[in-house]
Amino acid sequence: MNGSSLKDQKEVDIDIRQVFEQLKNNQFKVANYDLRQRKSRLDQLQQTILNFREKIKDALYRDFQKHAFEVDLTEIYPVISEIKQAKRNLRRWMGHHPVSTPISLLGSRSRIHYEPKGIVLIISPWNFPVTLTLGPLVSAIAAGNTVILKPSEQTPAATAVMQEIIELVFPPEEVVLIPGGVETSRKLLSLPFNHIFFTGSSKVGKIIMESAAKNLASVTLELGGKSPTIIDASANIRQAARRIIWAKFINCGQICIAPDHIYVQETVSREFIATLKQYLNQYFGNDAREEPSYARLVNHSHYERLVEYLENALKNGASIEYGGNMSQPEKYIEPTILTGTSPESLLMNEEIFGPLLPVIPFSDMDELVHILNKKEKPLASYIYSKSNKNIKKLIESTRSGAICINHSGIHFYNSNLPFGGSNFSGIGKAHGWFGFQAFSNARAVYNQIIPGPLEILIPPYNKIKQRVLDFAIKYL
């Protein structure tokens, strides 16, 4: 379900309908787990992940040569952090959430009770397979759901390790991980889940939403888009270059919130490009192929896609400022900086999702805002600036799932912030309290304790009752 050809993908031999029915039949038992029971599951998940830490690192190296430190930073830490936050706050999340009572409803009390949606499906991508599978699982478990996990077929080693973890922590009537390819996903999407949480491309997100609509299932869609970065003349150029290089080329650029392309004010553009080159050499040396910190593309399909983007950009007048070397057998593309990219090129119209970085000069901030607003809403946008005026303009005059000021991608690590897109880049939010809400139904609970003033407005209606209602409309 990631857009590439998967005809040869071996489908799993499992009765998906039977698994679904088992989880469905057990949903109310799991929903009634108290605070202690839910926290116990989270404790077990946390400890098992830590016990499997080296296995996870080995799996991700086998899938796309991800460095062990990067696995800790982008796969282990975010999930453990999500678990810890859920455990700290679960009592409050599961508790009563009272709301105020209008004077017209005197004699009553109202509250919100967050109940689990029921049986949920989590479909996760390949680029951060552990984080984007187990992170949403934390929220689903905290909210009291039964869960089917469907990881990407493109990272089989990571999927195998996660299946071991799930089978050790959860009984099969609570959480099940089902590996497989497109056909497995189609079978799952035909089932009447109560909620579907999908992370992946906007193209597949539309398919997920269409399938969910047939069963009136709610959805959380964590999609992508072309996240722009803006650097104005007031920015700290060295700081901006250092942070952008890290955020762009981690995981070989295969990250949905990576800076997709950069708009830099003309007066500082040459200085900025020169500084980018300095930090690329500092991070990855003269040959990134020899640097263990630099990962590889996940498969040959994504390699060929990026080669096509690069060749198309060069054909349309772009120039390579840095990099450009590649190796098909290794699925390797060097960190590459481009200038002069045509607005019509594939590079400027498709989500890059790889180590190619176009840099585009601009002169006027108002003109740039106009350009940004003609595009689909991205998952994130970034601005490097010391100008409060420019920062305010970007916040108020553009739209995106998140905006990060003087950093890139780091907002993902703050679970107190909602994570997610808007329209083309997603529907709904994840992480922390927002993830708990995504997997919960906010159920209104109204309790009439003693007769209230509305009791006098029952039929038969008369002039006195009309005057009371007129007073309420005007003053209450």
For the segment 353-373, the average pLDDT, to the nearest whole number, is 97
pLDDT confidence of residue 11: 55
pLDDT confidence of residue 452: 85
Q: Is residue 5 part of a domain?
A: no
Q: Is residue 389 part of a domain?
A: yes
Q: Is residue 321 part of a domain?
A: yes
Q: Which domain holds residue 70?
A: 16-223+427-442
Same domain, 183 and 290: no
Q: Is residue 474 part of a domain?
A: no
Same domain, 154 and 135: yes
For the segment 392-420, the average pLDDT, to the nearest whole number, is 96
For the segment 318-332, the average pLDDT, to the nearest whole number, is 96
Q: Is the pLDDT of residue 455 over 90?
A: no
Q: How confident is the model at residue 475 (pLDDT cuts 50, 70, 90)?
A: confident
Can you read off the two tokens belonging to residue 340?
A: 């002069």
Q: How confident is the model at residue 417 (pLDDT cuts 50, 70, 90)?
A: very high
pLDDT tens digits, 62-104? 999 999 999 999 999 999 999 999 999 999 999 999 999 998 8
Same domain, 131 and 246: no
- CATH number of the domain encompassing residue 63: 3.40.605.10
Which residues lie closer than 8 Å to 120 by C-beta, 6 or more apart?
A: 140, 145, 146, 147, 148, 193, 194, 195, 196, 197, 439
Same domain, 165 and 237: no
> Model-level pTM greater than 0.85?
yes
Distance CA(147)–CA(23), nearest Å, equals 7
Q: Is 91 exposed, middle or buried (0-12, 13-18, 19+ CB in 10 A)?
A: exposed
Q: Is the pLDDT of residue 6 over 80?
A: no
Same domain, 202 and 66: yes
Q: Is residue 464 part of a domain?
A: no
Q: What is the CA 311 to chain-centroid distance, rounded?
A: 30
Same domain, 358 and 212: no
Same domain, 242 and 197: no
Same domain, 435 and 408: no
Q: Is residue 156 part of a domain?
A: yes
Q: Is residue 309 part of a domain?
A: yes
Distance CA(438)–CA(297), nearest Å, equals 31
Give which of 431, 442, 426 is closest to 220, Cα–Cα.
Answer: 426
Q: Is the pLDDT of residue 256 over 60?
A: yes
Q: Is the pLDDT of residue 433 over 50?
A: yes
Q: Is the pLDDT of residue 2 over 70?
A: no
Residues annotated as part of the active site: 222, 256
Q: How confident is the model at residue 5 (pLDDT cuts 50, 70, 90)?
A: very low
pLDDT tens digits, 199-250? 999 999 999 999 999 999 999 999 988 999 999 999 999 999 999 999 999 9
Tally of CB atoms within 10 A around 384: 27
Same domain, 235 and 208: no
pLDDT confidence of residue 9: 40
- CATH number of the domain encompassing residue 337: 3.40.309.10
pLDDT confidence of residue 12: 58
What value does the mean pLDDT of the chain take?
94
Same domain, 30 and 70: yes
Same domain, 214 and 252: no
CA-CA-CA-CA dihedral for 353, 358, 361, 365, to nearest 10: 0
Same domain, 32 and 167: yes
Distance CA(298)–CA(153), nearest Å, equals 11
Kindly report each contact of residues 159-162 with a partner whose C-beta sits within 8 Å and lies 24 or more positions away, as own/partner.
159/129, 160/59, 161/52, 161/55, 161/56, 161/59, 162/129, 162/130, 162/133, 162/134
Q: Is residue 100 part of a domain?
A: yes
Distance CA(442)–CA(95), nearest Å, equals 12
pLDDT tens digits, 155-187? 999 999 999 999 999 999 999 999 999 999 999
Counting the structural domains of the chain, the total is 2
Distance CA(144)–CA(147), nearest Å, equals 10
DSSP letter for 223, please. -
